Amino acid sequence: MSTVTETHDRTGEKHTVAPGPGNTARLLRRWWPAAALLILAVAPYSALPLPGLLDGPLGSPGSLQLLATCLLFGALATGYDLLLGRTGLLSFGHALYFAAGSYATNMFLLEAGLPFAVSALLGLCFGTALALVLGSVSLRVTGIGFSMVTLAFAQAGSILVSRNPGGLTGGEEGRAAPADLLPSGLVGIEHTANLYWVALAYLVLTLAVVHWAVRSPTGRVWEGIKENERRVEVLGLKPYGFKLTAFVLAGALAALGGLVHLLLTGGSTPQTTTSDFTLSLLVMVVLGGSGTRWGPMVGGILYTWADHRLGDLAGSGAVADLPAVLRVPLSQPLFLLGVLFVAVVHLLPGGLARLPSRLAAVRRRPATTETLPARKARKENGRP
């Protein structure tokens, strides 16, 4: 039995839409994120084996830990794209705010002995305030100057953490979080599913905030700044305030990601303070598709998964048995990641997010089997 759907146009009038393949496709495009979210939410209850993708069943602690890490960095790349893809700001210091959220929360726990909820709130406020202060300075310059200033701040933060002032950061070893002050439901291998859901909630929150911000009037100004900042000034708007808003919002989302990372890893690590960390975010965004809704998330998830799984492949017996000319490059995970990145950049300009539209364009392109000599003969005979 067929059904009809009532829709409203901009004037408020009702229109009846008959079911059909086109409408079904539109419904699928509209609701697939909800279906994907449902699948991700029930993943811890599944024992589905995914050989090659994961080491164990889908719901095993090791698989959930890897998936949670992928979701975390998918969200972090989405937040970073507020700067790169939405406002046109190339920052090399985004890792600083991620590390600030983690280290500040950990220090409030260890040094002040505050409850986790209070420490997390203070850590988030600290990371946001740091983004506000450093962003207000960095944005005084534009272009490559802005990138260099953010890089300088990131390097200063990394040096500060490695120097371990007052024993607060743990230096090169990092600092473990106190298990007795963390929520009991988020500590221990038996609670890996809870950590996975925390990472999933962070991803959903980041996607919602970024989507809302981009569609807001401020988001439209960000788009104008990216295209032509001088034109925005001519319209009577001050780009500095709008760029600072994007910078602080992206920094706050990064600081929140630092809290999630603290829970996932059980501590704060100095690797999250380096400029290499921000460069990894840049690769994630470009890999997935800068300035797109889902691209940075896909790039972050794929890059993080490949970073973990290619390390296992590089050390496997299959690679060890290869000739030296193949074994040496394939035993380096960074080489494999580099090849993957170069292939995507050259074969898929615009990132993985552009792949569906490119495939659709290929399908719409009329196929022809007519050879060049036959085409010339047809034209000579005056046939169309």
**What is residue 28's predicted lDDT score, i.e. its pLDDT?**
66
The H or E element containing residue 7 is strand 5-8
The H or E element containing residue 178 is none
Structure tokens at 377: 């003969």
- Alpha-carbon distances of 360 from 44, 103, 364, rounded to whole Å: 34, 46, 6
**What is residue 25's predicted lDDT score, i.e. its pLDDT?**
62
Name the CA dihedral angle for 79, 72, 40, 337, rounded to a multiple of 10 degrees: 100
**What is residue 50's predicted lDDT score, i.e. its pLDDT?**
84
Structure tokens at 159: 């040096």
Closest CA to 246 of 223, 227, 228: 223
First to last CA, the chain: 47
Contacts of 74 (CB under 8 A, 6+ apart): 203, 284, 296, 297, 298, 299, 300, 301, 304
**What is residue 384's predicted lDDT score, i.e. its pLDDT?**
54
The H or E element containing residue 198 is helix 192-215
Question: How far is 275 from 292, CA to CA, in rounded Å?
Answer: 24
**What is residue 3's predicted lDDT score, i.e. its pLDDT?**
47
Classify burial at 188, counting beta carbons within 10 Å of its beta carbon; exposed 0-12, middle 13-18, buried 19 or more: middle
Question: How far is 363 from 274, CA to CA, in rounded Å?
Answer: 44
Phi/psi class of residue 183: alpha, beta or left (left: φ > 0; alpha: ψ in -120 to 50)?
Answer: beta
Strands annotated E in 116-242: 175-176
pLDDT per residue, tens digit, the chain (384 aa), is 444 445 555 455 555 545 555 566 676 667 778 888 889 999 999 888 888 788 889 989 999 999 999 999 999 999 999 999 999 999 999 999 999 999 999 999 999 889 999 999 999 999 999 999 999 999 999 989 999 999 999 999 999 999 999 888 888 888 999 988 899 899 889 999 999 999 999 999 999 999 999 999 999 999 999 998 999 999 889 999 999 999 999 999 999 999 999 999 999 999 888 878 888 899 899 999 998 889 999 999 999 998 888 777 766 666 677 777 777 777 777 777 777 778 877 888 888 888 877 777 777 766 554 555 656 565 555 555
Q: How many helices (H) and strands (E) does the chain have?
A: 15, 4
Structure tokens at 8: 């409203």
Closest CA to 207 of 132, 298, 277: 298
Task: Confirm if 242 and 222 have CB atoms less than 8 A apart.
Answer: yes
The H or E element containing residue 17 is strand 14-17
**What is residue 247's predicted lDDT score, i.e. its pLDDT?**
97
Beta-ladder partners of 267: 176
Residue 332, phi then psi, degrees to nearest 5: -110, 105
Task: Confirm if 163 and 35 have CB atoms less than 8 A apart.
Answer: no
**What is residue 245's predicted lDDT score, i.e. its pLDDT?**
96
User: pTM, whole model, 2 decimals?
Assistant: 0.84
